Amino acid sequence: MRAVIQGTGMYVPPNVVDNHRLGRIMGTSDEWIQQRTGIVTRHLADAGVGTSDLAVPAARQAIERAGLTPDDIDYVVFATMTPDFYFPGSGAVFAGKVGLKRVPCLDIRQQCAGFVYGLQVTDALIRSGQYSNVLLIGAEVHSSLMPWRSWDLVFGAADHPIDEEEYARNTSTRDRTVLFGDGAGAVVVTGADGEERGVVDVLLHTDGTLADRLWVNAGGSVGRPYFDPSMYEDGRIVPIVQGREVFRLAVTLMPEVMLAILKRNGMTLDDVALTIFHQANLRINESVQKRLGLPDDRVFNNIQKYGNTTAATIPIALHEAIEQGRVKRGDLLCFVGLGSGLNWGAVLYRY
């Protein structure tokens, strides 16, 4: 039994925020952001729009392209680090919005590696024979973590001077806040007998000693209370990214895990038609690509348009690669992700 991706879908909110807009509220510029990250634009959700709201249209598209209806889905795996609420998880909230009653929903928290971890879980569910049509979603609303107050300037709804104190406060976190975007990607995975296509192998790792390289040091059981206004005021709600260290880890561990999964399957880089890395930073992906010696036509990047959408980056990129004709039947694909935890891994998939 092979776990086969039968349909893909994506959705991003309509608000397109370019680098110039961010330059209105902090000390940054289009040149500064592009040079360091490769990002040109990102999509950000309105207040009141939750992660499950973005997941709904992405999932509906994936289900339709799989030739199924919501009633055919018998399991949901939902990967996010920005759930709608403290609890319950976004999987249940999403299921209620699309009318999935009594369908089990599993929420997972592997952040930027959420999709590759979710694909392993999905593959296991399919191979067990217990479930036939699993919906795997990666979705994020990172704008909820941004400390900005002048959202009217961010969205281009107003044009007024910004308070000097707010400008300085926003500038202090610019190295991280310019990275993120909101969006959702979804795939429908079904079981197929006698097929060469589908998930070939998954290789995952976690090193908890590196957790503080990339994390949010606010909102949790170590605090009293769990949430406190000071977490917002002192900027602790904004993800902490040890940029140089994360860069070093990514350009070391991502090539390593990709080569390892290929070796244990008796394959080489020459067998891979297209590689989709997690879209955290274009400069990271370019360095990984260079280290592996992969040509441009065998790597897919779209962070330039969407920024880092964490668990959604790989399914969004897969959807767009298929739409653009970058993938053909029989191609071997490799998905590689690394994120907070530290969690990382790779998936080999035969399209």
Catalytic residues: 112, 278, 308
Are 63 and 135 in contact by the 8 Å Cβ rule? The answer is yes
Residue 183, helix vs strand vs coil: strand
The alpha-helical segments, DSSP class H, found in the chain are: 19-22, 30-37, 51-65, 90-98, 114-127, 151-154, 164-171, 174-177, 229-233, 243-264, 282-292, 303-306, 313-323
Report how far residue 253's alpha carbon sits from residue 86's, in angstroms, rounded to the nearest whole number.
31
Write out the DSSP string of 223-249. SSSSS-HHHHHTTTTSPEE-HHHHHHH
Phi first, then psi: give them for residue 335, nearest 5 degrees: -105, 130
Contacts of 252 (CB under 8 A, 6+ apart): none
Nearest in space to 187 (alpha carbons), one of 56, 58, 90, 40: 58
Are 326 and 300 in contact by the 8 Å Cβ rule? The answer is yes
Residue 51, helix vs strand vs coil: helix
